[in-house]
Each structure stands twice: as structure tokens, then as C-alpha cells.
A and B are shown apart, each in its own frame.
Chain A
């Protein structure tokens, strides 16, 4: 068997989805943990320092490139699979199966992913682009560290109700995407032991509710001025 086949056959493509999916899940843990610093109620100091640290070392820069590569690979492979799979049934059924036997969000991974993609484009433009490439207001904390005021940028951004709603839509899409994707990724990677599958199903449901909910609370608490 050629190495390429391991990633290009129908099962191999799912290895790519599963591997990139798990990597994105790990990224979400870091991202949600770091962003939770906005609730430190210290005028954004802890959050700004943490966010600054995440862009300050070469290791982080390499991880960042890896993250972008992973997202792009995940998205490209997802659309390739989606389009190839759709071409496998040229004539559909008169009476569709609908929800008999499968959850709607497991069949709509492509659409949920597309919603996440729209959100991601706006999200990257809102925060990553200014912080990385544009001029940004700065703040100085004792003993004299000057960092980008991302906390201020967040507060500014989330005065716009439409952006808040878009972010909430992104969070809901992510929740359903993960509700199926979390356990599916491990199946794709070949976890078949029933004890682990039960464990992963449970963790997956918890993760898909808690993490997107935590993300959703960020624009909400900014918009409602719960954090100072």
C-alpha cells in the first residue's frame, strides 16, 4: 500500500478529517481557556497579557501556521468529500429517509461547517488581522509591558448587535458541528472499543455544549457590559 493511499482513499480522507478535527478541538480548548480571562474583572489586564503571550514566541508563530494549515486542510477535504459523496446517488428517493435513523446535524455537517466558515472569516478580520497586521491601541501594565489592547477591541466590536448575533450563530453552528464531529472524529481514527466509545460520546456531548456556550457568553457579556 502506498503512503498516499493512506490519506486519499475513502477511508484515508476520513483520517484527514479526523486528525484535523481533533487538532481543531485541541485548539478550541486553548482558545476558550485563554479568552475566559476576560472574566477576571481586572480591566482586561490578564486577558491582554495572555493574548500577547500567545503571539510573542516563535513556537506560537509556528503553531499558528500549523493551525491555519489545519483549518484549510479540514475545509478543503470536507468540501471534496461532501461533493464526491453527493455524486454517488444521481437519482434520489421520492420519500426521503429524513430523521429515521440519523440526527439532522450529522447529515448537515457541510452546511454547519459553511456557517462556521463565514463566521471565521469575520472573526479573523475582527481580531487577528488588526492585532497581527494593523495599527492597534496599546496599553502598558506594570512593570512596564506594552501590549495590544485586544480587550478594548473586543468591547468596541461587541457594541454592534449584528456582530453579536453573528457570533452567536457561529457558536450554535459549532455546537451542532461538534455534537456529531467530536465522536465521529474518533470513529474515523479507528476507536472501536465500546468502553472508549461510550466515554468519548459523553465527553463529546459535554464539550459541544460547554465550549460553544462559553464562547457565546463572551460577546454577550461584552454587549451587556457585564465585564469591565
Chain B
């Protein structure tokens, strides 16, 4: 694709801290290369602001290659911006053209309070994982990888679910701020493998209980989560989670 530069208007959410009311600020950036990533464009703006003695815009990021799930930005009415199957850090400026106005907001969900500007507190996800998103393995020699036979289709489905990076875009997109796509990816990933067998029933029950405590909504299966998920986690995982939950509820001993 042809390289070009552009001048843009940015409307960015600024909020000093958790308590601050916050508001949108408008910035203009010029000579932005179409080859830059979206976050690099923010770096350019922030550097200028530091030079001008202003407080730079706080945003989360770490790997900048779509694997850590930190870069939570809601861009022009879509989590992670206009491209499909990409994170904000993988979004490139060639998605925009000269003269565009871009509105950038933080994830909005009461379970993800804004800490500063575009940074939200996603520790609710950590607590959900702590509640059951693990398997217990005895220490000792590593087991031969081929010792446990696993049906190919189950392995593939499990690996696809394991691709979830916990970014929270599903919550940001959902009209109910439901975290079920995330939970269903974590539950499916383990429920489909023999290694996840021992804690299968308690896992789903405990994770849902924690999710409800954290203040996420329930699922109306609108599909908005699946549409914005950078890892394209299929929504059928949510149906599988429902089945796991129903099965645990009907058959657990206590």
C-alpha cells in the first residue's frame, strides 16, 4: 500500500484519577505516517505534550504485538478500533485518512473502573482466574506430552479458546458489560482437555460466582463480544459454559 501522511483530530478521554469526573480533550496531530501503529501515534502526541510541559495521556500497553492484552482503547465506537481480529497495538494508521476525527475512550464497565485517562483496572479478571481458572498438577517429572491421547477436534477447540488474552474488549463491547466470552474461553480451554477434568465442576461454579461478585452483567447473546474479540473467540464457548454450569449444578455432590 502507498505510504502517506495525515493530519488528525483526536478527542481523548482525560481523567486525573478514579475519583475525578473526567472529560474529553481535543488534540490535533500532524504528519502522522500511515505506517505507524495507533499507539505510536499516541507516543508522538505524548512526547509533544511532555515537551510542552503538559501531562501526557496515560494508556495501558506492554507487548505491542497482540499478546499481552493490555492496550484497552475504545476507538470510534469499537473496542480495539475498526479492524477485525486485532488489538489496538496492532491497529495501524492506514486504517484512517487525512482529516479524520478519532474519538478514544476507555473501556466502560463498572467492573473496570477508570484509574487514569484511558487506563482501567481489570484486576476483576485476575480474581476470576484465581477463583478457578487453573489446574492442579503434582510436581515431579514432566509427563511425556504424548502420554495422554486427546481428540484432535477437542484439542483444536481448546487451543482456540486458550488464545484469549484477557483484554476485556468483550466486556467493553457488551451492552450488559458481561464477561462471559472471557470466562467461557477460560472454562472451555480447560474443560475440553483431560488435564482440566478433576476441577471441572467446581471451576465453572466458582468462576461464575466470582464474576457475579465483580459486577459483570449476564449474557443476552447479542454477539457484540465475538465481533470485537481480537482473538476471534467464538461465542459458542458461552453455550458450552452454560452447559458446563448446568451440568455442575445438577450433578455436583454438595
Which residues from A are CB-within-8-Å of B243?
190-192
Which residues from A are CB-within-8-Å of B139?
none
B118 within 8 A of A: no
Q: Which one, B38-46, B59-67, B129-137, B214-222, is touching chain A?
A: B214-222
Residue pair A100, B218 in contact (C-beta under 8 Å): no
Q: Which one, B25-33, B47-55, B106-114, B142-150, is touching chain A?
A: B106-114
Residue pair A190, B105 in contact (C-beta under 8 Å): no
- The smallest C-beta distance from B201 to any residue of chain A, in angstroms, reads 8
The verdict on A14 contacting B249 (CB below 8 Å), with A91-B108, A93-B77 known, is no
A90 within 8 A of B: yes
Residue pair B110, A88 in contact (C-beta under 8 Å): yes
Q: How distant is the Cα of A87 from the Cα of B215 in the complex, in angstroms?
A: 9
Q: Which one, A2-10, A37-45, A156-164, A166-174, is touching chain B?
A: A2-10
* Given A10-B216, A101-B78, A190-B246: 17 more A-B contacts, CB < 8 Å: A10-B208, A10-B212, A11-B180, A11-B242, A15-B246, A81-B218, A85-B177, A88-B109, A89-B109, A100-B78, A103-B222, A106-B223, A189-B246, A190-B243, A190-B244, A191-B243, A192-B242
Q: How distant is the Cα of A184 from the Cα of B220 in the complex, in angstroms?
A: 7
> From residue 90 to 113 of chain A, which have CB atoms closer than 8 A to chain B?
90-98, 100-103, 106-107, 109
Instruction: Report the count of interface residues on A (CB-CB < 8 A).
Output: 46
Which residues from A are CB-within-8-Å of B173?
97, 101
Q: How distant is the Cα of A163 from the Cα of B26 in the complex, in angstroms?
A: 53
**Least CB separation from A87: chain B residue:** B110
Q: How distant is the Cα of A96 from the Cα of B175 in the complex, in angstroms?
A: 10
Which residues from A are CB-within-8-Å of B165?
none
Residue pair B76, A95 in contact (C-beta under 8 Å): yes
Identify which of A81, A85, A93, A183 contacts B74 (C-beta below 8 A): A93
Which residues from A are CB-within-8-Å of B217?
10, 84-85, 88
Residue pair A187, B220 in contact (C-beta under 8 Å): no
Q: How distant is the Cα of A35 from the Cα of B218 in the complex, in angstroms?
A: 36
Residue pair A106, B109 in contact (C-beta under 8 Å): no
Instruction: Report the count of interface residues on B (CB-CB < 8 A).
Output: 56
A30 within 8 A of B: no
Q: How distant is the Cα of A14 from the Cα of B222 in the complex, in angstroms?
A: 14
Residues of B at under 8 Å CB distance from A? 11, 13, 24, 74, 76-78, 103, 105, 108-111, 173, 175-178, 180, 205, 208-209, 211-212, 215-228, 235-250, 252, 254
Most buried by A among B221, B223, B237, B252: B221
**Least CB separation from B234: chain A residue:** A194
Which residues from B are CB-within-8-Å of A100?
77-78, 224, 227-228
Q: How distant is the Cα of A90 from the Cα of B248 in the complex, in angstroms?
A: 33
Name 17 A/B residue pairs within 8 A (Cβ), A-sorted: A5-B205, A6-B246, A11-B180, A11-B241, A81-B218, A84-B218, A87-B110, A88-B217, A89-B177, A93-B105, A94-B13, A101-B224, A102-B175, A180-B221, A184-B220, A188-B219, A188-B221
Residue pair B239, A187 in contact (C-beta under 8 Å): yes
> From residue 103 to 131 of chain A, which have CB atoms closer than 8 A to chain B?
103, 106-107, 109
> From residue 191 to 213 of chain A, which have CB atoms closer than 8 A to chain B?
191-192, 194, 197
Most buried by B among A10, A96, A98, A106: A10
Which residues from B are CB-within-8-Å of A155?
none
A12 within 8 A of B: yes
Residue pair B108, A101 in contact (C-beta under 8 Å): no
Identify which of A11, A88, A184, A192 contacts B176 (C-beta below 8 A): A88
Which residues from A are CB-within-8-Å of B77?
93, 95-98, 100
A26 within 8 A of B: no
Residue pair B226, A191 in contact (C-beta under 8 Å): no
- The smallest C-beta distance from B235 to any residue of chain A, in angstroms, reads 8
A145 within 8 A of B: no
- The smallest C-beta distance from A189 to any residue of chain B, in angstroms, reads 7
Q: How distant is the Cα of A81 from the Cα of B175 in the complex, in angstroms?
A: 12
